Amino acid sequence: METHDSLLARIAPAPGQCSRTILDPATGTPVGEAPVHTVEDLEAAVAAAAAAQPAWAALGHDARSAALLKAADAVERSAEELARLLSREQGKPLNGPNARFEVGACAAWLRATATTPLDPETVVDDGETRAELHYRPIGVVGAIGPWNWPMMITTWQIAPALRMGNTVVVKPSEYTPLSVLALTAVINEELPEGLLTVISGGPDVGEALASHPAIGKVMFTGSTATGKAIIRSSADTVKRLTLELGGNDAGIVLPDADPKAIAQDLFWGAFINTGQTCAALKRLYVHDSLYDAVCEELAAVAAAMPMGNGLDENNVLGPLQNQQQYDILARLVDAARDAGARILLGGNPDPGQPGNFYPTTLVADIDNNNPLVTEEQFGPALPIIRYTTIDQAIAMANALDVGLGASVWSPDVSAAREVAARLQAGTVWINKHGAVDPRIPFGGAKQSGYGLEFGTEGLKALGQPQIINGWTATQTRATPN
């Protein structure tokens, strides 16, 4: 059986190629060497992708779907090795909704994307005019991914792009290139050459990809600031864009909720991937009548969740992936404490502990304008804000300029749906948070981005709409004199 060390050997830099040592965020020890590609390497990859694309498109949906299904099989054959490499590079534990879960999601998304139907749509057929809407390949797609879910989100980007007859050039995060290089090496076992290429470079490569005249669409998941830069870089070539940007998701617990019954789901809504998830629960609004009970039950669940090295089978929480994110989180928690907020749990990192570990932290009695509430913390710290009326909770939840996801918690689903309809977010979950499904479209509102992923709408987003507008055989088109 292939090990993750043999995976590393497959993706190792070529002799004489520039490389960068990737460190384990749990231990600070080397994981492997990642190639540092250049803009010239990007040019070669885009040229190869453009050359390979017409033949791939000509195969049709059935053949392309069959290739994606074989790619899913390949991912499953290497699942444990991919998960162990992911755990070492990103930091997430093997168990829980983490590394093994992420690799499994890659296979699941490949299969779902391959089997989602997309038929031409008849727009008008009135006996005189027949108009059909088709979706043709765009050409070459650029995919720029993040460091928090590097394998899964890359799959979200490449699977629909390939299914729709495009070829793809991937630019992974500089923090987690090994995971993406390894995943694509496995997927490429089942794909023709030139369809899928990873260029592991720096910001100059990302900027060149976003502005490249031969790339027809860019998909990006990451910060709002970087998303805005991509919009600017893509403007001159009028690229199609799908942007899944920063979120600061609110959850609202209604007065009739059962604190004990929802505590476990609240915890994982906030702390999946140790809080490093765009659509995680990052602000929790709780009605005054059950505020203390929710705090108590949530703290009990959080205190029981083990954090540590991801390769330890007992752990379900890991380190922050990088020191920069650790520093952001520490600053926000310290500012909340200094402002008089009450630390229910955590907030006390051990400076002598190796790795980027920040303890699971719950912060109560915090003002809604505190930076821990208004800025996306992207780590294992959750502010819990008290409210007295539903209107007040909705106003606070909608106050920010982002709107990726939100959630409402109540046994009365009808009442929860009424609140959900008033929230400014791309997805609102009822009695759960952050649960994505390859069949259900997903995208942000406000400055959390635009464009939809997943399901039929996700496939359409990777196609160029084309109307075939034809008269019936018995209809003669009028010709101007």
Question: Which positions are annotated as active-site residues?
Answer: 244, 278
Give Dmax over CA atoms of the chain in angstroms.
Answer: 87
DSSP H helices in 272-322? 291-303
Phi first, then psi: give them for residue 174, nearest 5 degrees.
-65, -20
Rounded to 5°, angle at Cα 70 from 69 and 72? 65
Which residues touch 204 (CB under 8 Å, ≥6 apart)? 39
User: CA 215, CA 193: separation in Å to the nearest integer?
Assistant: 18
DSSP label of 249: E
Tokens describing residue 245: 């940007």
Tokens describing residue 14: 């070529």
User: CA 336, CA 364: separation in Å to the nearest integer?
Assistant: 10
- CA 388 to chain centroid, in Å, comes to 34
**CA dihedral in degrees (44, 47, 51, 56; nearest 10)?**
80
What three-state secondary structure class fits 157?
Answer: helix
Which residues touch 400 (CB under 8 Å, ≥6 apart)? 248, 374, 446
If you count them, how many residues does the chain have?
Answer: 481
Please say whether the beta carbons of 283 and 373 come within 8 A. yes
User: CA 33, CA 11: separation in Å to the nearest integer?
Assistant: 9
Q: CA dist 410 to 189, 265, 364, 429, 466, Å?
A: 47, 12, 21, 11, 44
